[in-house]
Structure formats: structure tokens, C-alpha cells
């Protein structure tokens, strides 16, 4: 899917690609998942913290949530949980409603004959011809991710709207050791003095 072929896709997908830097299966999973959450909640892109996304991976898909839903780390309405799963829960504060969108387990299953090629590519041992085969498989995977029915891609279920609290602004304190400001709840104490987390972890046992 080169730059020329991207023109056929919706503007919001092109915007997500521009933000992410390239198009890939992971970004498309996030694109479709964010759309599914929006459709279920009847929600538009968040201008502030009215939508909150809890994502269970830190992969390409999360960039689509930032673009489509306006959920970002900077606004405090993108929460990362390091579970390594293609699962996304979106809360709508105004509607007091939440939806959990999880990728179905069979969506990314690969034919057994492709596994050796992927393993060689991971080890940087694939030949030019093998890389060409992998590129073709990747293109077909992306086409499939765009064409599949939403219900075939994801399990979508309403969940209790236990919305995480809004982001808070805290007082800053100065680390005694490096002189840099640190958010008060993240400050530590080292030798009886205020320390940021990196400075608080200095421990040499005298060596």
C-alpha cells in the first residue's frame, strides 16, 4: 500500500498513517478497533477527557486510538496496561458507558508454511525472494483487516463504566541530587533528601 494507493482510503486512516509513519497490520487493527468503539458508544473524537481509552499493549495499534479518539498520554485519557494483548476498553464519561474491544484469536493466525519465513526474517536471515513473499503476505493481511466484518475481527462487549479518575495536576518539588523538578507523588527520599526516581535508585554498597 504505497503513497499512491493510500489515496483511496478514508482521510482519517490516512491521518493515522501519517501520524504513525507507515501503514501496517498493527495500525489497521487499532484503526478498526477504535472505529468499533466509536460506533458502539456513538462517540466523536475527544476534545478533552470525555473519552478514556485503556490499552493493553504498546504496539502500533495505539497510535490509531490517539488519532481517531483523541485519547493521548498528554491529556491523561490514554492509559497503558502492560498485558501484551490486543484489547482496548473505551469509557465515555458523558454517557456513563464503556465498551471492551478484543481481537479474536484466529484473526492473525498464519499458515504453518509461513512460520519458517517469519523466523528467518526475525533473525535477519531471509533472502530477498523470501522477503518478497513476506511482503506479499503482509499486503494480503492488511487487505483482509480492512475488509473483514467488525464482528469477525473483534469480540465487542459492554462493560461496567468504572471510569478512571481524571488526570490531576500536582505540585512539583526539586530533586536535591540533580536539581530537576519532579511531580510530588513521584518523588522519593534518599538520605533524608527529596530525590527523583532515577536519583533515588543509586545504590552501590560502597563499591
Residue 73 is assigned to a structural domain of this protein: yes
pLDDT of residue 136: 93
> Is the pTM higher than 0.95?
no
Residue 195: inside a domain: yes
Which distant-in-sequence residues (6+ apart) come within 8 Å of 153 by Cβ? 29, 32, 33, 36, 103, 104, 107, 145
CATH code, domain carrying 176: 3.30.60
Residue 196 lies in a domain: yes
Let me know whether 43 and 121 are in one domain: no
Per-residue pLDDT of the chain (207 residues; tens, 9 = 90+): 544 477 888 999 999 999 999 999 999 999 999 999 999 999 999 888 999 999 999 999 999 999 999 999 999 999 999 999 999 999 999 999 999 999 999 999 988 888 988 998 989 998 999 999 999 999 999 999 999 999 999 999 999 988 777 777 889 999 999 999 999 999 999 989 999 999 988 655 555
Q: What is the pLDDT of residue 202?
A: 63
Residue 164, in any domain of the structure = no
Q: Are residues 86 and 154 in the same domain?
A: yes
pLDDT of residue 165: 77
- Are 12 and 101 in the same domain? yes
In a domain, 179, yes or no: yes
Residue pair 64/77 in contact (Cβ under 8 Å)? The answer is: no
Q: Which residues of 30-62 are buried (b: 16+ CB within 10 A; e: fewer)?
A: bbbbbbbbbebbebeebeebbbbbbbbbeebbb
In a domain, 143, yes or no: no
Amino acid at each position: 500500500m504505497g503513497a499512491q494507493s493510500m489515496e483511496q482510503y478514508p482521510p482519517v486512516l490516512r491521518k493515522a498513517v501519517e501520524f504513525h509513519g507507515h501503514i501496517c497490520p498493527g495500525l489497521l487493527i487499532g484503526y478498526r478497533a477504535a472505529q468499533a468503539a466509536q460506533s458502539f458508544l456513538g462517540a466523536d473524537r475527544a476534545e478533552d477527557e470525555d473519552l478514556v481509552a485503556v490499552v493493553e499493549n504498546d504496539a502500533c495499534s495505539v497510535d490509531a486510538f490517539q488519532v481517531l479518539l483523541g485519547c493521548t498520554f498528554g491529556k491523561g485519557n490514554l492509559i497503558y496496561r502492560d498485558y501484551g494483548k490486543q484489547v482496548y476498553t473505551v469509557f465515555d464519561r458523558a454517557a456513563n458507558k464503556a465498551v471492551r474491544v478484543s481481537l479474536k484469536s484466529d484473526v492473525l493466525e498464519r499458515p504453518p508454511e509461513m512460520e519458517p519465513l517469519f523466523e528467518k526474517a526475525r533473525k535477519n536471515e531471509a533472502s530477498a525472494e523470501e522477503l518478497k513473499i513476506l511482503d506479499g503476505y503482509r499486503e494480503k493481511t492488511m487487505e483482509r483487516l480492512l475488509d473483514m466484518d467488525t464482528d469477525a475481527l473483534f469480540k465487542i462487549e459492554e462493560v461496567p463504566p468504572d471510569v478512571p479518575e481524571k488526570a490531576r495536576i500536582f505540585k512539583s518539588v526539586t530533586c536535591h541530587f540533580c536539581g530537576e523538578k519532579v511531580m510530588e507523588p513521584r518523588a522519593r527520599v534518599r538520605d533524608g533528601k527529596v530525590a527523583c526516581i532515577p536519583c533515588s535508585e543509586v545504590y552501590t554498597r560502597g563499591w
